[in-house]
Structure 1
Amino acid sequence: MISVFSLQGSKLVYNHLATLYFVFVFDSSENELAMLDLVQVFVETLNKCFKNVCELDIVFNFNKLHTVLDEMILGGQVIETSSEEIMRSVEEIARLEKQSSTTSLIPKSISQHFSR
């Protein structure tokens, strides 16, 4: 269920999904339908990320949630509305993070010397 409320100079859009509420607050000059779509894309992407998102997914993976938001919105501007594109970027970021955590910053010649 998606709803829109007007506040003093701002508008609020929320989507209720199971036990989660996703709330976006935006300037009254923004297009309400565009914001409704943005909330829908956000929820859809989180469902893809977590296979039916729940509270625990958000609590224990808040960094992934922020990554999704960062791929959608930059500097207050919507930069991506395709759930598939957002997922590709999030997966690439996760792959790079995993790769960088397994890459040793110590050259092999030095690490072999100390491992003896």
Structure 2
Amino acid sequence: MINAFLVFNGQGQPRLTKFYTQLDTQIKQRLISEIFTLVSNRPPGSCNFLPLPPLLAPPANADPQQHNDVPSLVTYRHYATLYFIVISTSTESPLALIDLIQVYVEALDRLFENVCELDLIFNFETLHATLGEMIVGGVVVETNLDRIVAGVKAQGTVAKRPVNEGRGSGGAGGFASAVGAGLGMGGMVWHGR
């Protein structure tokens, strides 16, 4: 089960925080701060998944069979100026979660055409709608890129005039052209971490 999906810019400012598990507001705030620090301080070349910090991890003496739904894994990808992070239970495949993040990024790039950080700031409805097409109640329900994009467009949540309209591929925010250059798609590049 997915417990949370988070997006941060390089300075640690949250651009999207979606929790699928009920948590106290103070714990959410501490978790957001600790997760960004944990992920952003990882050396280049590090693996893209790691154990959850003790804030939400199950107690050491807990029976593992009774805690399959307890958050225990952090999976992330770093694209130019943004970190995309998924907090999940140990029952989720980290490799599948990395693919899920990639599909989310590709969907945003299709919806905004050369997506940049400003698109995420000013069109947060599209961020949530895209995530809502993919994940419901912490369960992945769709990973087909065409169906996700069509579903978001059908909701009418995509801005008619994207924020980055009229900018070149190196527009403000600057991570738009990187996926196309690095992965043969239209938007962000994966930094291989």
TM-score higher than 0.5 here?
yes
What is the percent sequence identity of the aligned residues? 46
2:62 equivalent to 1:5: no
Partner of 1:90: 152
- In terms of fraction of residues, the more helix-rich structure is 1
Question: Which digits, 9 at most, give the CA deviation of each residue in 1:4-53, with x for residues without a partner?
Answer: 11123511111111111111111112111211111111111111111222
**Please, which runs of 5 or more residues in structure 1 have no aligned partner?**
99-116
Contact 1:20 1:54 in 2 (8 A): no
Work out the CA distance in 2 between the residues paired with 1:36 and 1:50.
21
Counterpart amino acid of residue 32 in structure 1: P
Q: What amino acid sits opposite 1:87 in the alignment?
A: V
TM-score by length of 1: 0.75
3-state SS of 2:73 partner: strand
Check the 8 A contact 1:72/1:86 in 2, yes or no. Answer: yes
Once the two structures are TM-superposed, the CA of residue 54 in structure 1 deviates from its matched residue by 1.6
1:4-43 → structure 2 map (5 Å cutoff): 4-7=49-52, 8=57, 10-43=72-105
Matched residue SS, 2:50: strand
Q: CA deviation at 1:59?
A: 0.5
Question: Which amino acid is the alignment partner of residue 156 of structure 2?
Answer: A
- Give the counterpart letter for 2:48 in structure 1: S
Residues 3, 15 of structure 1: 8 Å contact kept: yes
Structure 2 stretches of 5 or more lacking a match? 1-44, 59-71, 161-193
CA distance in 2, matches of 1:48, 1:20: 17
Q: Which has the higher contact order (CA 8 A, sep 6+)?
A: 2
Give the CA RMSD over aligned residues: 2.0
Deviation at 1:85, TM superposition (A): 0.6
Matches within 5 A, 1:44-55: 44-55=106-117
Q: Match of 1:19, as an amino acid? A: T
Q: 1:59-108: per-residue Cα shift (whole Å, max 9, x none)?
A: 0000000000000011111110011110011111118xx9xxxxxxxxxx
Structure 1: which 4+ aligned runs deviate by more than 2 Å?
none
